Structure 1
Amino acid sequence: MAVISRRTEPTPIRRPARSRALGLAAVFMLGALVAGGLVFAATRPSSTEQIADRLRAEDALRDKAQIKALTELARTTRDRLVPVLEGLGRVMPVDGTAGPAVVTPADVARWRQAAATAVDGFADPPSGETATNIARSSLASAVRQIATTVDTYAASRGLTGQIRTTVMDLAVRQRAAALFTWSVGATALDAVNVDAGYGHQHVFLPASPGDGALTPDPEPEGTHES
């Protein structure tokens, strides 16, 4: 009698559920890493952008140092010019008439020397940010105008009559323009100090209402309110 053999099918191997979960997790992690790498590659700054950011940071630090140095120079210059302006105020009141004060040639020589030293202080200015450059240029222009005012007054001393009156009037107007220009620079200097984190710095020259100069704001020195 023939014997019919049966082929036994291999029993399928079932992977544990834990193995399948680990495999899915590995696939997910791999996909996340690939996607994250693509996003980083797409959004990271280019070498040009990195250089630009570094240069901007260096410029900001340099500008802060320039603002501090400019403020110190402005204070020194103000202290040097106050005696000059006080002397001019005694002999050149705002209305242009000669005052009662007696001024000697030695007085005028001291004023000229003080003004010349102030002008030299602003020679060869460094290049900074636009706002800082405006503050520096305004102060430097004012100093030159004050020096010119002293020269004009000195020239008037050797004149008489109507020509002396005319030249004295010119000196008075030059002084007013100088004080206005300084007040513009001092206002700009105050603003850049606040922006740089140094707080308000009110480096203004004394001026009379007739000069039309800007005046400092009421904020205390060193505060950051604008």
Structure 2
Amino acid sequence: MLTLAAAFTLGALLVGGLVFAGTRASSTERTADRIRVEAAQRDKAQIKTLTELARTTRERLVPVLEGLDRAMPADGSTRPAAVTSADVAGWRRAATAAVEAFADPPSGETATNVARSSLASAVRQIATTVDTYATSRALTGSTRETVVALAVRQRADANFTWSTGATALDAVNVDAGYGHQHVFLPTSPGNGALTPDDEPEGRH
């Protein structure tokens, strides 16, 4: 009986050891899990930083877009406002600073990279719009009208691209647990740009 009991105990220990060895995560799996956790934490930090950058950039660019709206009304219902060289120089400084703020971006998760790239592309398009408008000021007649029309289209594309990035930024904030963050630029109705949803800021 003692021999049988000892054999049974030994067998149970061996089986238990085999089951434990079979179910225990391998070092590779543990490493992969750790990397995933670290990547998620890093991405959450990047989302927070990117949202703050987007808000700062929006504050910097709204006066530029408002100035461009006065200088070249999209619908043609009002006469363009007088614009000085100092105005244009100020727009260029603001746009350049915004472009530089998005330079050398960190690599994050795919959704965060998409949001960042869309916002960065929009900022570059706004800077190009300012340059195009500045170029038009030295022209006359139909040539000037053609270049201004090009600048109007560039502005519309920039607004749409920003709205795409802002929508993606809102989504990653919700996924990260920060809630809705509506960092959209002001746009005219009917221009095709995406708009924020009706959820309050910060709601999950």
Asked if Structure 1 and Structure 2 have the same fold, meaning a TM-score greater than 0.5 normalized by the shorter chain, the answer is yes
Q: State the Cα deviation string for residues 160-208 of structure 1 (Å, max 9, x = none).
A: 1111110110000000000000000000000000111111000000011
CA RMSD across the alignment: 1.8
Instruction: Please report how far the alpha carbon of residue 215 of structure 1 lies from its aligned counterpart in structure 2 after TM superposition.
Output: 0.3
1:36 and 2:20 correspond: no
- Counterpart residue identity of residue 114, structure 1: A
The answer to whether structure 1 residue 130 and structure 2 residue 134 are counterparts is no
Distance 2:46 2:152 in 1: 33
TM-score by length of structure 1 reads 0.85
The 2-side partners of 1:40 and 1:205 are apart by 57
Which deviations, in whole Å up to 9, do the C-alpha atoms of 1:48-104 show, x marking residues without a partner?
Answer: 111111111111111111000000000000000000000111111113577342111
Aligned match of 1:158: 138
Structure 2, gaps ≥5 residues long? none
Stretches of structure 1 lacking an aligned partner (at least 5 in a row): 1-19
2:57 to 49, 68, 77: 77
- Flag the 1:151–1:210 CA change in 2: closer, same or farther, 3 A: farther
Amino acid at match of 2:58: R
Which structure would you say has the larger Rg?
1
Give the CA deviation at 1:32.
3.7
CA distance in 2: counterparts of 1:148 and 1:114, whole angstroms: 12
Normalising to structure 2: TM-score of the pair? 0.94
Q: Secondary structure of the residue that 1:209 maps to in structure 2?
A: coil
Paired amino acid for 1:169: A
In the TM superposition, what are the counterparts of 1:1-226 in structure 2 within 5 Å?
A: 30-95=10-75, 99-224=79-204
Contact 1:199–1:223 under 8 Å retained in 2: yes
Structure 1, 203-212 or 171-180: larger mean CA deviation: 203-212
Corresponding pairs, count = 204
Which whole-Å CA distance do the structure 1 matches of 2:50 and 2:156 have between them?
23
In 2, distance between residues paired with 1:117 and 1:136? 16
| Conserved? CA contact 1:119–1:140, under 8 Å | yes
Do the aligned residues in 2 keep the contact of 1:92 with 1:98 (CA within 8 Å)? no
Inter-partner Cα distance in structure 1 for 2:190 and 2:84: 26
Q: Give how far 1:24 is off.
A: 7.7
Secondary structure (helix, strand or coil) at the match of 2:103 reads coil
Separation in 1 of the partners of 2:17 and 2:41? 34
Identity %: 78
